[in-house]
């Protein structure tokens, strides 16, 4: 029974990522409803059943990216400290619970400094909150490989959701086999 639910979740998430990849490939942007709706659903799920400090931090990071640099960096550092303290007392300080907090903060800072797009950051945060840091690593490794290929072909930017999708499909195949 558990395998069937896992396969269904993998198919739904895979289909969502493929649709996001097609949008990213064609227009270099993802419609807001494709990134925000899954993000909100996963934040609510993660706040209840998963990693509440990382969920709260991810929501706060969405707002921090729209303010000026100095206050945003200060708020990010304070929020990270608050999430780690909250995580320590709620989640009994395991690395699997703390790593998503650092990932959410790092992705938000990449977005804030313009190194990734907003939809890319939201997709990465959604994946991290839903599946944990190991899924994030698959997506980032795939992104790094695509980045190297992009450099070889002298591309300044690549549609980053495509490697995220490739990494997540690999993650699902590895964890389902």
Q: What is the pLDDT of residues 99-127, one digit of tens each?
A: 888 888 888 888 888 788 788 888 899 99
Q: Is 170 left (phi over 0), alpha (psi -120 to 50) or beta?
A: alpha
Query: Can you give the pLDDT at residue 127?
Result: 92
Q: pLDDT digit string (tens) for 51-75?
A: 888 888 888 887 877 777 778 888 8
Over its C-alpha atoms, the chain yields an Rg (Å, rounded) of 16
User: 13-52: per-residue pLDDT in tens?
Assistant: 889 889 988 988 888 888 888 888 989 899 999 888 878 8
* Domain span holding position 110: 2-176
Burial code (b: 16+ CB inside 10 Å, e: under 16) for 2-34 equals eeeeeeeebeebeebbeebbebbeeeeebeeeb
Burial of 35 (0-12, 13-18, 19+ CB in 10 A): buried
Task: Tell me the C-alpha to C-alpha distance, in Å, between residue 75 and each of 51, 62, 89, 166.
Answer: 20, 12, 21, 33
The residue among 5, 107, 98 whose CA lies nearest residue 51 is 98
Q: Which residues contact 57 (CB under 8 A, 6 or more apart)?
A: 79, 80, 83, 101, 104, 105
Phi, psi of 117 (to 5 degrees): -80, 165
What pLDDT does 41 receive? 92
pLDDT of residue 75: 84
Work out the average pLDDT over 134-157: 83
CB 24 within 8 A of CB 162: yes
Residue 93 has pLDDT above 80, yes or no: no
Instruction: Give the pLDDT of residue 177.
Output: 66
Helix, strand, coil in percent for the chain, rounding step 5: 85, 0, 15
**Which of 1-5, 34-38, 130-134 has the least mean pLDDT?**
1-5
- pTM metric for this prediction: 0.85
SS3 31: coil
Structurally, the chain folds into a number of domains equal to 1
């Amino acid at each position: 029974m558990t395998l069937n639910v896992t396969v269904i979740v993998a198919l739904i998430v895979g289909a969502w990522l493929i649709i996001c990849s097609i949008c990213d490939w064609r227009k270099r942007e993802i419609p807001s409803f494709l990134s925000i709706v899954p993000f909100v659903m996963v934040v609510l799920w993660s706040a209840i059943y998963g990693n509440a400090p990382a969920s709260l931090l991810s929501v706060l990071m969405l707002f921090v990216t729209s303010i000026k640099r100095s206050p945003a960096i200060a708020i990010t550092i304070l929020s990270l400290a608050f999430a780690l303290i909250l995580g320590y007392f709620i989640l009994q300080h395991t690395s699997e619970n703390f790593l998503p907090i650092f990932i959410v903060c790092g992705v938000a800072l990449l977005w804030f400094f313009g190194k990734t797009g907003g939809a890319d950051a939201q997709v990465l945060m959604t994946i991290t909150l839903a599946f944990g840091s190991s899924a994030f690593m698959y997506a980032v490794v795939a992104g790094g490989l695509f980045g190297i290929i992009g450099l070889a072909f002298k591309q300044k930017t690549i549609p980053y959701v495509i490697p995220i999708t490739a990494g997540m499909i690999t993650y699902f195949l590895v964890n389902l086999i």
